[in-house]
Amino acid sequence: MDLTGEERIAASRDTVWKALNDPEILRACIPGCESLEKISDTELEAIVGVKIGPVKARFNGKVQLTNLNPPSSYTISGEGKGGVAGFAKGGADVTLIEEGSETVLAYVVNADVGGKIAQLGSRLIASTSKKLATQFFENFNAAVSGT
């Protein structure tokens, strides 16, 4: 499943780029994120708790940053295991476009789940994924622009 969107952020592209690479800001913006540790310049480890319908899961996983083109774009991808709940994997292609004193953050998110969570149905998974992605980018916008 793919989700696309954009956020207009009242900050320079360099400021937005730095925030996209700051584990503390990302941890605060990711819904359900319990921890996010930087392993290297392109790898992080995360623990995220989510609820999809009646299933509550805690995912442990790794996040990779690839296709780095500072300060214009990158791809962030990850995979997490949620025990009996199953697994989740996905990523986002993020592009930053400077427009005056603002930055437009455009994204294409893809997500895939398996195991018990996959049995919940594609509509519920799609709506929850969209909600979580929207919430992250809104949180990120507020954190970076100070609104």
Mean pLDDT (whole number) for 6-34:
95
Q: What is the predicted pLDDT for the residue at 38?
A: 95
- Report whether 88 contacts 80 (CB < 8 A): yes
What are φ and ψ of residue 16, in 5° steps? -65, -45
* DSSP reduced 3-state for 98: strand
Q: Hey, where are the domains in the chain?
A: 2-144
- What does the alpha-carbon distance between residue 72 and residue 138 come to, in Å, rounded to a whole number? 19
Work out the average pLDDT over 2-21.
95
Average pLDDT over residues 117-138: 86
Architecture of domain 2-144 in CATH?
Answer: 2-Layer Sandwich (3.30)
**Residue with token string 């100070």:** 146
pLDDT digits (tens, 9 = 90+) for 45-104: 999 998 888 888 899 999 999 999 999 999 999 999 988 888 888 889 999 999 999 999
Kindly report whether the peptide bond that precedes residue 71 is cis, defined as omega within 30 degrees of 0: yes
